[in-house]
Structure 1
Amino acid sequence: MENVLRPLIVIGSSLLLTLAIGWATDRLLRKADERDSDTPLWGLLRRGRIPYQLVLCAALLRGSYDQAQLLPAHETAIGRVLTLVLIGSAAWLVIRIAAAIVETSYSRYARAHRDVARVRRVRTQVELIMRVVSAIVIVVAAASMLLTFPAMRAAGASLLASAGILGIVAGVAAQSTLSNMFAGLQIAFGDMVRIGDTVVVNGEWGTVEEITLTFLTVKTWDERRITMPVSYFTANPFENWSRGTPQMTGIVYWHLDHSAPIEAMREKLRDILRKCDAWDGRAHGLVVTDTTPTTIQVRALMTAKDADDIWTTRVVVREEMISWLREEHPYALPRVNTADAVLPAHWPRIPSQDGAHRRAYEQPGTGRG
């Protein structure tokens, strides 16, 4: 009877104690979150209740399992398994706590500063720092797990002796990976590109969605994802429309007939922009920038507070101006002329060989014709 009750008491008390401590801790964190709702720390810490309970349960079972006298022939193996679970859950808990602290610090910084570019820069640095911390904790936890095996401790001396050769081999084999890691750190702390920046890479326009130590993801306007190594941004030129201030200047071109009413188009552009919410009111203009034998090139200029608004402004101006020209000044749209030119009435008529009269293409008094 004792052989049955003892394991039940030891294991049952460990589980009950784990549930009780976990419930009490979660209750305290919930009250702290309700009392101080402006700080997300307590709510973020509550996300770590599962690894927290695993740590408690593994620690209690590891410390009291020898008293349970359950499966004594396998006591060493079960104890090692509990140790591995304890190390793994402790690493998981440390990562959750670190993430909660870092996220809380970032939230306070974001609320205190209105500079969007600076906030995005800090966000990029925070995410990369969390990835580095997570990698370090995982490596330390994995090394601690390996050291629980006597065979690994015995092989430690030989591993250290060959560490130099292994390091050289690993460095050569992982050269591209290491270069990407250093490039990721350079991007994070060199403020080259940040999460949320609008960039143009290889002719693709999009927003930086994710930055890791090895790769960067750009979300395009049509919701595609372009993933590329971060070393690309340190070795190749790219456009960053969010660098400095997010304000932008947009341009719209039209190819029109030479008879297009330029002054009326300037007034219409002003009316269109006044009705467009995306226009920030800083500047606008309309000029003729080029001419060909059949058309002229008209350029409209407008400003907006960021890349999204400048895109909206350009689209609105382009559509409404074309609609206005089609309805009010259809002659201004480009066309192919196949009819004879209409000459002024005061130009003289010159008799042709067949007896018909035609107007001279030369002005009077030129002596030609």
Structure 2
Amino acid sequence: MLAAVVTFAGSLLVALLAVTLVHRVVRRIGRRSALFAGLARHAHRPALAVAALVAVQLSLGVAAHGDWRPVALHVTGIALILAGAWLLAALLVVIEDATLARIRVDVSDNRHARRVHTQITLVRRVTVVVVSVLAAAAVLMTFPAARAAGTSLLASAGVIGAIAALAAQSLLGNVFAGVQIAFSDALRLDDVVVVEGQWGRVEDITLTYVVVHLWDDRRLILPTAYFLKTPFENWTRTQSALLGTVELDLDWTVPVEELRQELRHALETSDLWDGRVCVLQVTDAVGSFVRVRALVSASDAGRLWDLRCVAREHLVAWLRARHPGALPQVRVRELPRAAATAPVPAANGSSDNRVFGESADGEERVQAFSGPEQTAPSAQPVQPR
């Protein structure tokens, strides 16, 4: 009995000392390596548990005698399976964290980085679930009765699978949708989206639901299957730069060319404008008002929102100060006709009145939205009768 106790204590002490020494070495290396730092942080406790259980199992197999030995070995084996699954899951998490640390998302063009982050995050959750399921199955297979039951259940696995699929149809649909979203590149972490009439940023993507951080700090939680069945707007699908509009209903006497020049002046003095698009057009002139639309651009959705507000406030203040008669009004008497000598701006006098053409960005938009060139059919001679 004394020999068994000494063997048990000695093997356990050796195992713990070995793991402690390895942990100190790994932690020292981790000062210069993110991978080893993650190992020291996540794998230390599961490694201690595995080492201790291995020492206990070896001691029981060598020095233990009696009727309690098989039960102790069985319990130790189950604990060793669970501790091994814990260690494997920790190692997978360390590898995934090290991969994520090498991919930066704090850069201007982070579309590829956000895609990889989304995929690795979902793969991490899938691997943890798979390891847990395999560990549970391994524990059950240590019981003879469970092995016999498993053999008999294999014959009816098809029926059980069909029943389980029907019972968990919604859950499985969301799981498959989450995997499809991760690898189809339709939605990524930090994408700016518009869903259910709400504007926000994708904060988290799980196997069953997606969390959208709305602009007013609310969270909109949607099932992953929603993004495969319902159309939604993704403002950062290919790039973060966007175009935005500012519309004003004004009087017919509004000086359009002066307003156009004032818009450009306002944008050039703002650090929110990215310098790509500055266009002002009259998009409607029906009834009592003239609708003027200003088209502006910014490097991301947040800057675009602020830039639209700044441009709108500036134009309204300029009209009130310089041309109050151009503000919306309902006439109760006929105004005198404008003088015949009033200057009329040329249609092509400024590039700020064209969305398509006249500028580098406009030429690119022409190529993007124009269809293939049509070749005019050659004239056929008329045959005399």
TM range (shorter): 0.7 to 0.9
- Aligned match of 1:32: 29
| Paired residue secondary structure (1:287) | strand
* Equivalent in 46, 50, 55 of residue 50 of structure 2: 55
Asked whether 1:88 is paired with 2:88, we answer no
| Paired residue secondary structure (1:172) | helix
- Aligned match of 2:350: none
| Paired residue secondary structure (1:299) | strand
CA-CA distance at 1:69 after TM superposition: 6.2
CA-CA distance at 1:284 after TM superposition: 0.5
* Equivalent in 165, 168, 171 of residue 177 of structure 1: 171
Question: Alpha-carbon deviations, 1:205-225, whole Å to 9, x = none?
Answer: 111122222222211111222
CA-CA distance at 1:102 after TM superposition: 2.5
Aligned length: 337
Equivalent pairs: percent with the same residue?
A: 40
* Equivalent in 127, 133, 136 of residue 139 of structure 1: 133
- Aligned match of 1:105: 99
Amino acid at match of 1:206: G
Structure 1 Cα separation of the partners of residues 54 and 233 of structure 2: 53
| Paired residue secondary structure (1:162) | helix
TM-score (norm 1): 0.81
CA-CA distance at 1:242 after TM superposition: 1.1
Asked whether 1:316 is paired with 2:299, we answer no
From the superposition, tell whether residues 60 and 270 of structure 1 become closer, same or farther in structure 2 (CA, over 3 Å).
same
- Whether the 8 Å contact between 1:10 and 1:65 is mirrored in structure 2 is no
CA-CA distance at 1:325 after TM superposition: 2.8
- Aligned match of 1:362: none
Structure 1 Cα separation of the partners of residues 189 and 150 of structure 2: 42
From the superposition, tell whether residues 261 and 77 of structure 1 become closer, same or farther in structure 2 (CA, over 3 Å).
farther
Structure 1 Cα separation of the partners of residues 117 and 336 of structure 2: 68
- Aligned match of 2:296: 302
Structure 1 Cα separation of the partners of residues 218 and 60 of structure 2: 54
Question: Alpha-carbon deviations, 1:272-312, whole Å to 9, x = none?
Answer: 21222221101111122123433221111111122222122
Structure 1 or 2, whichever has the larger Rg, is: 1
CA-CA distance at 1:252 after TM superposition: 0.8
Structure 1 Cα separation of the partners of residues 13 and 56 of structure 2: 12
| Paired residue secondary structure (1:24) | helix
* Structure 2 gaps, min length 5: 340-385
| Paired residue secondary structure (1:222) | coil
Question: Alpha-carbon deviations, 1:181-238, whole Å to 9, x = none?
Answer: 2222221222111111111112111111222222222111112222222222222211
Amino acid at match of 1:84: I
Structure 2 Cα separation of the partners of residues 220 and 235 of structure 1: 21
Structure 1 Cα separation of the partners of residues 316 and 62 of structure 2: 87
From the superposition, tell whether residues 69 and 318 of structure 1 become closer, same or farther in structure 2 (CA, over 3 Å).
same
Structure 2 Cα separation of the partners of residues 116 and 218 of structure 1: 19
In the TM superposition, structure 1's runs of 4+ consecutive aligned residues that sit over 6 Å from their partners are 66-70
Structure 1 Cα separation of the partners of residues 18 and 326 of structure 2: 80
CA-CA distance at 1:337 after TM superposition: 4.7
- Aligned match of 2:193: 199
- Whether the 8 Å contact between 2:4 and 2:59 is mirrored in structure 1 is no
From the superposition, tell whether residues 254 and 171 of structure 1 become closer, same or farther in structure 2 (CA, over 3 Å).
same
Question: Alpha-carbon deviations, 1:252-282, whole Å to 9, x = none?
Answer: 1112233333223222211221222221101
From the superposition, tell whether residues 345 and 186 of structure 1 become closer, same or farther in structure 2 (CA, over 3 Å).
closer
Structure 2 Cα separation of the partners of residues 64 and 45 of structure 1: 28
